[in-house]
């Protein structure tokens, strides 16, 4: 059975799609793109449309409100802040280290020493924070940085929260389960501190006015799906600003064992780097990483965005679910990812300068994504970029880290060449438009199109 989500295709009030130089608004390109995707679901939400009668979003040409990224915060194996992480993208510094987890010695993307100090300081702030799972504490730190950059530490404007995680409160869950198996009982706070609901609500409590605290878990595409939902929430006029992103703390014995059972984790001590996305020598080289990345999305006119120092515009988003894919992967042709990319681009494939790939470092996943990119963009020399060889795969947070890398590229930042033979290639021209991909277990896929301000 095929189930389709009715797509909302929109265009600016002046009748132009972003990137067009003239002509009249014609949504048939987006409709045709959606029709070519015979998969479970496809969604497109783009700028303003004559079919969207919400008066909040109706504006005169040149001043219509769109969705912009105005802040980003992260904590990762590369550093305690987005600034440190983005510096590592340029230098090529890696955060993958060998650690003993349970009975296994294996490479993981563990937090840097600087980042661990920040987690320790946060933990000592209050008894309440000390009781939270590590995943939630990482999200708090990333959200604080994102709010500061967007100026929400200086204003009380309402700020929605949509966050997620793939594995959830792994540290607390595994510790409480071990206690239960030994003693036959658990602590009263076990349930409230392990439910996914504690992620967004604890982040929301730190802002004076948070009208929304939503959670999502959609495997490794979780953070990107949170971006999609935040984008749609803002475009619908239900809010003016929203925190979106993901957090993951999967470096625990049972979580590692689950991934190891799939036969995807790399253990070769001589392999450097340990994680090799889009490697030319096909072999599974998955490394788990921990971290959190949070973005502030705001609905602004372009003059407002320029005044606020917005980092990029979210031009389009798309999502799809593979039909008949395995429980852990996507089709060999990457049909679902191609569908999500088409939806985000809505027929406009020219002028794409870079793709930040999902590429987890597995043979099937990497090949499928290359096939999807070739299907949608053709044999173009678009740059293909990834940070997983530096951080490992942060699972549900990885999509937000992909957007962080895209923002780095859009601001003129450079990326280091990975020290292995790969299909990755750095940009050779100024980057003005970037596609970010994400995919997860079960076949959930998502893509986002970002553009630099002033590049229309």
401 pLDDT more than 90: yes
Q: Are 393 and 291 a contacting pair, CB within 8 Å?
A: no
pLDDT tens digits for range 9-45: 332 323 323 333 232 223 344 444 444 454 433 333 3
| 365: nearest Cα among 247, 242, 220 | 220
Q: Which two tokens stand for residue 302?
A: 């372009």
In angstroms, the CA 138 to CA 130 distance is 12
Q: What is the pLDDT of residues 204-252, one digit of tens each?
A: 999 988 888 888 998 899 999 999 999 999 999 999 999 999 999 999 9
In this model, does residue 315 exceed pLDDT 90? yes
Per-residue pLDDT tens digits for 190-209: 888 888 788 999 999 999 88
What phi and psi, each to the nearest 5 degrees, are found at residue 185? -150, 165
Lowest mean pLDDT among 165-174, 265-274, 322-331, 373-382: 322-331
377 contacts 343 by C-beta, under 8 angstroms: no
* 142: confidence class by pLDDT, cuts 50, 70, 90: very high
Measured CA to CA, the distance from residue 181 to residue 323 in angstroms comes to: 39
What's the rounded Cα separation, in Å, for the pair 224 and 446?
A: 6
Q: Which of 319, 307, 165 shows the shortest CA–CA distance to 229?
A: 319
Give the confidence band of 146 by pLDDT, cuts at 50, 70, 90.
very high
Asked whether residue 124 carries a pLDDT value surpassing 90, the answer given is yes
pLDDT, tens digit, for every residue of 252-266?
999 999 888 888 888
Which of 81-95, 259-273, 312-326 has maximum average pLDDT? Answer: 81-95
pLDDT tens readout for residues 36-71: 454 433 333 333 333 333 322 223 334 489 999 999
* Residue 39 pLDDT: 40
How sure is the predictor about 155, in pLDDT bands with cuts at 50, 70 and 90?
Answer: confident
| Least reliable range by pLDDT among 6-20, 218-232, 271-285, 441-455 | 6-20
| 11 strand-pairing partners | none
Greater model confidence, 416 or 195? 416
Banded model confidence at residue 105, pLDDT cuts 50, 70, 90: confident
Complete domains list, the chain, with CATH: 64-317+352-365+378-439+447-456 (3.40.47.10)
Which pLDDT does position 381 carry in this prediction? 83
Q: Give just the sign of the alpha carbon dihedral 236, 238, 243, 247.
A: negative
Q: Across the strands, what pairs with 247?
A: 292
Which pLDDT score is estimated for 5? Answer: 26
Confidence (pLDDT) at 329: 67
Mean pLDDT of the chain: 83
What pLDDT is recorded for position 37? Answer: 52
Distance CA 117, CA 57 (A): 44
* SS3 labels along the chain: CCCCCCCCCCCCCCCCCCCCCCCCCCCHHHHHHHHCCCCCCEEEECCCCCCCCCHHHCCCCCCCCEEEEEEEEEEECCECCHHHHHHHHHHCCCCEEEEEECCEEEEEECCCHHHHHHHHHHHCCCHHHHCCCHHHHHHHHHHHHHHHHHCCCCCCCCCEEEEECCCCCHHHHHHHHHHHHHHCCCCCCHHHHHCCHHHHHHHHCCCCCCCCEEEECECECHHHHHHHHHHHHHHCCCCCEEEEEEEECCCCHHHHHHHHHCCCECCCCCCCCCCCCCECCCCCCECEECEEEEEEEEEECHHHHHHHCCCEEEEEEEEEECCCCCCCCCCCCCHHHHHHHHHHHCCCCCCCCEEECCCCCCHHHHHHHHHHHHHHHCCCCCEEECCHHHHCECHHHHHHHHHHHHHHHHCCCCCCCCCCCECCECCCCCCCEEEEEEECHHHEEEEEEEECCCCC
Q: Which has more confidence, 281 or 224? A: 224
Q: What pTM did the predictor assign?
A: 0.86
Q: Supply the Cα-derived Rg of the chain in whole angstroms.
A: 21
Q: What is the pLDDT of residue 46?
A: 36
Looking at residue 11, its pLDDT comes to 29
Residue found by looking up tokens 């409160």 in the block? 169
251: its two tokens: 């470096």
Residue the block writes with tokens 């980042």: 115
Average pLDDT rounded to a whole number, residues 423-440: 94
Q: Say whether the peptide bond before residue 129 is cis (omega within 30 degrees of 0).
A: no
Residue 4 has pLDDT above 70, yes or no: no
* pLDDT value of residue 443: 80
């Amino acid at each position: 059975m095929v189930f389709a989500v009715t797509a909302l295709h929109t265009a600016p009030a002046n009748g132009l799609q972003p990137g067009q130089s003239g002509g009249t608004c014609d949504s048939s390109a987006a409709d045709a793109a959606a029709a070519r995707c015979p998969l479970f679901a496809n969604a497109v939400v783009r700028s303003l449309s004559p079919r969207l009668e919400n008066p909040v979003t109706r504006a005169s040409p040149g001043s219509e409100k769109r969705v912009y990224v105005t802040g980003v915060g992260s904590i990762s194996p590369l550093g305690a802040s987005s600034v440190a992480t983005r510096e590592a993208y340029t230098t090529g510094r890696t955060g993958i280290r060998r650690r003993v987890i349970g009975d296994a010695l294996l490479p993981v993307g563990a937090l840097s020493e600087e980042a661990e100090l920040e987690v320790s300081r946060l933990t000592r702030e209050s008894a309440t924070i000390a009781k939270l799972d590590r995943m939630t504490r990482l999200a708090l730190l990333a959200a604080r940085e994102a709010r500061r950059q967007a100026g929400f530490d200086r204003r009380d404007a309402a700020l929605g929260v949509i966050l997620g995680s793939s594995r959830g409160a792994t540290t607390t869950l595994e510790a409480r389960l071990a206690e239960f198996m030994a003693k036959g009982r658990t602590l009263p706070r076990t349930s409230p501190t392990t439910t996914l609901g504690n992620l967004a609500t604890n982040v929301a409590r730190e802002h004076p006015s948070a009208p929304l605290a939503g959670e999502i878990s959609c495997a490794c595409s979780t953070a990107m799906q949170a971006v999609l939902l935040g984008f749609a929430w803002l475009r619908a006029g239900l809010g003016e600003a929203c925190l979106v992103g993901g957090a993951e703390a999967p470096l625990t014995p049972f979580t590692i064992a689950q991934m190891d059972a799939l036969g995807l984790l790399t253990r070769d001590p001589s392999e450097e780097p340990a994680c090799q996305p889009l490697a030319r020598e096909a072999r599974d080289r998955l490394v788990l990483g921990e971290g959190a990345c949070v973005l502030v999305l705001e609905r602004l006119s372009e003059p407002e965005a320029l005044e606020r120092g917005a980092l990029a515009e979210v031009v389009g988003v798309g999502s799809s679910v593979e039909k008949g894919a395995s429980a852990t992967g996507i089709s060999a042709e990457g049909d679902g990812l191609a569908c999500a990319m088409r939806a985000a681009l809505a027929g406009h494939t020219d002028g794409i300068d870079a793709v930040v790939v999902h590429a987890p470092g597995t043979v099937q996943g990497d090949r499928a994504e290359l096939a999807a990119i070739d299907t949608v963009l053709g044999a173009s020399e678009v740059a293909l970029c990834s940070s997983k060889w530096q951080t490992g795969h942060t699972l549900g947070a990885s999509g937000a880290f992909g957007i962080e890398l895209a923002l780095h590229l859009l601001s003129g930042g450079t990326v280091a060449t990975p020290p292995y033979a790969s299909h990755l290639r750095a940009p050779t021209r100024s980057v003005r438009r970037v596609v970010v991909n994400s995919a997860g277990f079960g076949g959930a896929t998502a893509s986002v199109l970002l553009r630099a301000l002033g590049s229309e």
